[in-house]
Amino acid sequence: MGLKQIELTVNDFSHPFLVESDETLLFTLRNRLYLTGTKEGCNQGTCGSCTVLLDGKPVLSCMTPTLRCVEKKVITIEGISSGENLHPVQKYLVKNGGLQCGFCTPGVVMTAVPFLEENPDASRREIKEGLSGNLCRCTGYKKIIDALENAAAEMRS
């Protein structure tokens, strides 16, 4: 065990710091980088709230060892939309009421963005499928799915 010096590239900036050898990316992001947009809902790989991108691929940061991420690129909710504009996924979640308490929302965004990029023509059923690892207790998912359908349309155009 013990500490290890690493560099971790998060949202296009490379941070040098010490991590515990066995810590998860979720812990590193929240506690060492103070990037608290990534949420801890279960710490068991069951709720999807901690989803981030690792080299463009969505992963559950609570299941990902930080030391696996060295030399890879991590994108968190804080880095998903650059500059002034929201990503269409974010925009329509806001507009269509696809969030209530908002706690699962960062995970929904980080799942939906790569999903819709990979599946631009996803049907409503496929969107439901793609989102089936993100537990939401407020919305009943309907308005989330509505928002993602609209976001997909905008992303296509």
Partner 1 sequence: MSGSIGKPTPFIDAVQKVTGQAMYADDYRMPNMLYVSFFRSTESHAKISKLDISEAESYPGVCAVAIGKDIPISFGVLPISPDENAIAVEKVRYKGEIVAAVAAETIKAAREAVEKIKVVYEPIKAFFDPKDSLEVCAPEEQIHSHTKNGKNIHKTAELRFNEPEKELEIAKNKQSGFFKFAGVTHAFTEPHSTLAIWNRDDTLTVISATQVPFYLHKNISKVLGIPLHKIQVKKPTLGGGFGGKSDPFPHEIITAYLAKKTKRPVKCTFSREEVFITHHGRHPTELSMSVSCDDDGIITALDTDIIIDGGAYGSFGVVTSYYNGVLLQGPYKINKFGFRTRRTYTNKHQCGAMRGHGAVNPRYAVEVLLDMMAQSLNMDPCDLRNKNFLPENTLTVGEFRITSNGVRECLEAVRRKSDWDNRYGKLPFGRGLGVACGFFISGSALPIIWNRYPQTVVHAKLDFDGRIVMFSGASDIGQGSDTLLVQIAAEELGISMEYVQVETADTKITPVDLGSYSSRVTFMVGNAAKTATTKVREEMAKAISKEKDVTAENLIFNNCRIHTKDKSIDLSWEEGVEIALAGRGAFVESGYYISPKLGGDFKGSGAGLSPAYSFGAFISEVDVNPNTGAVIVTKVWGAHDCGKALNPLSVEGQIEGSIHMGLGQAISEEMRYHNGQQINANFFDYRIPSSLDTPDMDITIIESNDAEGPYGAKEAGEGPIHPVLPSIGNAIYDAVGIRMMELPITPEKVLSKMKENA
Partner 2 sequence: MDYYHTPSTVDEALTIAGKLSGNYTFFAGGTDIQNYRKQQLDTNEYVIDLSEIEELDSITIVDGALHLGAMTTLDKIVSSDEIQNHYPIIAEAAKTVATPVLRKTATIGGNLLVTNRCTFYNQSQEWRDGVGSCLRDVGDICQVTGGKNDCYSRNVSDTATALIVLGAEITLMTPNGIIQKSLKDIYLPCGIKFHDLEERCILTQISVPIEPKKWWYKKLRLRKTLDFTSLTVAATIDTAGIARVCLNGVSMSPILIEKPLKELTLEGLISIARKNCKTVDNDLMPLKYRREMINVYLKEWWKSFR
Q: Tell me which residue of 114, 143, 106 sits closest to 128, measured CA to CA.
A: 143
Residue selected from 17, 18, 21, 46 as contacting partner 1 according to rule CB under 8 A: 46
83 binds, among partner 1, partner 2, none (CB under 5 to 8 A by kind): none
10 Å CB burial of residue 84 (0-12, 13-18, 19+) is exposed
Residue selected from 7, 12, 17, 21 as contacting partner 2 according to rule CB under 8 A: 21
What is the spatial distance between Cα 114 and Cα 103, in angstroms, rounded to a whole number? 19
Q: Which pair of tokens denotes residue 81?
A: 């939309």
What is the spatial distance between Cα 77 and Cα 117, in angstroms, rounded to a whole number? 16
Q: Tell me which residue of 9, 6, 24, 3 sits closest to 66, measured CA to CA.
A: 24
Give yes or no for residue 155 binding partner 2 (CB under 8 A): no
9 binds, among partner 2, partner 1, none (CB under 5 to 8 A by kind): none
Give the x-and-dash track for 81-120 against partner 2 (CB under 8 A). Answer: ------------------------------x---x-----
Give yes or no for residue 77 binding partner 1 (CB under 8 A): yes
**8 Å CB contact between 17 and 27:** no
What's the min distance (Å) between Cβ of 94 and partner 2?
A: 23
**8 Å CB contact between 74 and 59:** no
Q: Tell me which residue of 50, 5, 48, 14 sits closest to 33, measured CA to CA.
A: 14
Give yes or no for residue 123 binding partner 1 (CB under 8 A): no
Judged by the rule CB under 8 A, the positions of this chain that interact with partner 2 are 1-2, 4, 21-22, 24, 43-46, 48, 51, 57-60, 62-65, 67-68, 111, 115, 129-134
Judged by the rule CB under 8 A, the positions of this chain that interact with partner 1 are 34-44, 46-47, 49, 76-78, 81, 86, 90, 93-97, 99-106, 109, 128-129, 131-145
